[in-house]
Copies of this chain bind each other. A is one copy, B any other.
Amino acid sequence: MYQIRTDLALETQQKMQEDNIELKGVRFFEEKIDKNLTISRVVIETENGAKTMGKPKGTYITIEASNMDEEDEDYHREISVQLARIIKELVRTKKEEISVLIVGLGNREVTPDALGPRVVDNLFITRHVMKEYGRYAFGEDVVNQISSIVPGVMAQTGMESLEIIKGIVRETKPELVVVVDALAARSTKRLNRTIQVTDTGINPGSGVGNHRHGINEKSLGIPVISIGIPTVVDAATIVNDTMYNLVTAMMQSEAFSTLGRSLKDLNDAEKYELIQELLAPGLNTMFVTPKDIDESVKRLSFTISEGLNLAFLGGKTGNKKQKHA
Contact B285–A287 (Cβ < 8 Å): no
Of B110, B154, B166, which contacts A291 at CB under 8 A? B110
Q: Are A148 and B158 in contact (CB under 8 A)?
A: yes
Q: Which residues of B contact A48 (CB under 8 A)?
A: none
Digitize A15-40: 1 where CB-to-B-CB distance is under 8 Å, 0 elsewhere.
00000000000000000000000000
Contacts of A291 in B (CB 8 A): 110, 285-287
A163 to B127, CA, bound (A): 13
Contact of A322 among B155, B166, B245 (CB under 8 A): B155
Known: A147-B159, A156-B148, A158-B147. A259 touches B249 (CB 8 A): no
Let me know if B278 and A242 touch, CB within 8 A: yes
Is A70 an interface position by the 8 A CB rule?
A: yes
C-alpha spacing A58/B220, complex, angstroms: 39
Kindly state whether residue A172 has any CB partner on chain B within 8 Å. yes
Copies of this subunit? 4
Contact of A156 among B125, B155, B256, B277 (CB under 8 A): B125
CB A7 to nearest CB in B, in angstroms, measures: 16
Q: Indicate if A320 sits at the interface (CB-CB under 8 A).
A: yes
Q: Please indicate the chain B residues that have their CB under 8 angstroms from the CB of A318 in the complex.
A: 72-73
A283 at the binding interface (Cβ < 8 Å): yes
Whether B127 lies near A159 (C-beta < 8 A) is yes
A109 at interface (Cβ–Cβ under 8 A)? yes
Q: Taking the nearest CB of chain B, how far is it from the CB of A137, in angstroms?
A: 13
Counting chain B CB atoms within 10 Å of each CB, the highest count among A147, A171, A277 belongs to A171
Contact B127 A292 (CB under 8 A): no
> Quick check: is A168 within 8 A (CB to CB) of the other chain?
yes
User: Which residues of the other chain, B, contact A128 by a CB distance below 8 angstroms?
Assistant: 154-155, 157-160
Nearest neighbor of A148 in chain B, beta-carbon distance? B157
Task: Tell me, yes or no, whether A1 is within 8 Å of chain B by CB.
Answer: no
21 contacts between A and B (CB under 8 A): A73-B318, A110-B293, A125-B157, A125-B158, A127-B158, A128-B155, A150-B152, A155-B324, A156-B323, A164-B168, A166-B171, A167-B171, A189-B282, A238-B288, A242-B242, A246-B278, A249-B274, A253-B277, A285-B290, A286-B289, A292-B324
4 closest A-B pairs by beta carbon, nearest first, are A127-B158, A167-B167, A167-B171, A147-B158
Q: A109-B295, A235-B288, A246-B274 are in contact. List 16 more A-B contacts (CB 8 A).
A: A110-B292, A147-B159, A148-B157, A149-B157, A150-B150, A150-B152, A156-B323, A159-B168, A167-B170, A167-B172, A238-B288, A243-B246, A245-B278, A286-B289, A286-B290, A292-B324
